[in-house]
Structure 1
Amino acid sequence: MKLFYMPGACSLAPHIVANEVGIDLELVKVDGKTKTTETQQDFLATNPNGYVPALVLGDGELMTESSVLVQYLADQKPESGLMPKPGDMARYRVQQWLAFVATELHKVFGAFFKPNTPEATKEINRELLAKRLAFVDGKLDGRAYLMGDAFTAADAYLWTILGWAKHVGIDLSSFANIQRYIGTVAARPAVQKALRAEGLA
């Protein structure tokens, strides 16, 4: 499998999951401005939407969207527990978190990376993020990870998005549980391996 990524982008989440379950991905770095790969291939020919992650399977099938890719990769090794079994309520809880991260955090953070986002929009997003982050902080009280003691695909995605805060001026210092959580996830060998591979460690 081939993962098209940009260092530190949301493509880091499936990269982490692949490391957690022991899947060796072929990594292809993409330049976000030129939409070309390291070998000067046109990334738009792979994903016309122009964003990462894009996962190309062995048969050439293309998959996109971080929240889907982390589930797909985790399901390749169900014994890993990164995605609970189909039909298990715990699976729906993980999917609930994945949807929350995608819609309530990822998209809101995204506005700060666009140079043409009006300052008024950024201020609205800061207020919204403060509420959503307070919710996450409360849910992490007394828990190592979102689901308790078990690391799941949702944690890979949440941790990746939380990492954007320092790049866009969102202060997380008032969220003690999130601060602890960031450190706990960062210490995982699979996370460190992904960071090194993407030149972020």
Structure 2
Amino acid sequence: MDFYYAPTACSQAAHILLHEADLSFRPHKVDIFQHTLEDGSSYEAVNPNGYVPALRLDNGLLLTENVALLDWIALAGDGLVPDGPLGRTRHLQMLAFLSTELQKPFVRLFFTENEEEKAWLTETLTRRFGWIATRIEGDYLFGARFSAADAFFYVMARWAAMCGITLPETLQALAGRIEARPAVRTALAKEGVAPLGGAA
């Protein structure tokens, strides 16, 4: 498999999960602003949309969209989806929330220069992180077992730290537990980024 990512981007969640699932893959770093790969070739020749993550399977099929990749990797791995008759549905619910209700506002926050919009986005994100804090069911979001949603949450916690958003203590502790996992440390090292230090 070929995995296309950009350091610290939302693709970091899939990067973490690929290591967590112990899947074999070839990583390719993408410059998402120039839309190029490290060898200078066009990334848009791989993914015409130009964004990450993307995963080309061994059969040639290209998967895009973070939620789709995370769901596929979680199913390909062992025990990365919550148990129960609605386990996968609830997991997809959380992945969709992280993608639409956190990631999208963060992208706006990164690029807006309007101070009123920054304040509104910060307040909105703080409130939505507060909702996640009420959903923790154990050591991880869905109990004792790590899931793809935890990997995605961790990336959003890193973005919160980048934007100066203070998370509730329960979420800081969750980010710390996630960061302590060997797969997370491996992905961070591969991307050349420093750990948060156990807190968001």
Quote the residue 1:59 is aligned against.
Answer: 59
Equivalent residue letter for 1:200? V
Quote the residue 1:39 is aligned against.
Answer: 39
Contact persistence 1:4–1:52 (CA under 8 A): yes
Q: Secondary structure at the match of 2:30?
A: strand
CA distance in 2, matches of 1:106, 1:67: 11
Contact persistence 1:19–1:190 (CA under 8 A): yes
Quote the residue 2:198 is aligned against.
Answer: none
User: How is 1:1-201 mapped onto 2 (pairs within 5 angstroms)?
Assistant: 1-77=1-77, 80-84=78-82, 88-114=85-111, 116-140=112-136, 143-172=138-167, 175-201=168-194
Shift of 1:119: 2.5
Shift of 1:84: 4.3
Shift of 1:42: 0.3
Shift of 1:117: 4.8
Runs of 4+ in 1 over 6 A off after TM superposition: none
CA distance in 2, matches of 1:117, 1:13: 27
Contact persistence 2:82–2:145 (CA under 8 A): no
Q: Secondary structure at the match of 2:134?
A: helix
Shift of 1:43: 0.7
CA distance in 2, matches of 1:48, 1:123: 34
Contact persistence 1:111–1:117 (CA under 8 A): no
CA distance in 2, matches of 1:24, 1:197: 14
Equivalent residue letter for 2:171? I
Equivalent residue letter for 1:154? A
Equivalent residue letter for 2:103? H
Shift of 1:147: 0.4
Contact persistence 1:137–1:178 (CA under 8 A): yes
CA distance in 2, matches of 1:91, 1:104: 19
Shift of 1:143: 2.1
Contact persistence 2:70–2:148 (CA under 8 A): yes
Computed over aligned residues only, the root mean square deviation of the Cα atoms, in angstroms, reads 1.6
Query: TM-score, length-normalised on structure 1?
Result: 0.91
Q: How many residues align?
A: 194
Contact persistence 2:35–2:42 (CA under 8 A): yes
Equivalent residue letter for 1:34? Q
Contact persistence 2:141–2:150 (CA under 8 A): yes
Shift of 1:171: 2.3
Contact persistence 1:186–1:192 (CA under 8 A): yes
Identity within the alignment, %: 40
CA distance in 1, matches of 2:107, 2:113: 10
Q: Which runs of 5+ in 2 are unaligned?
A: 195-200
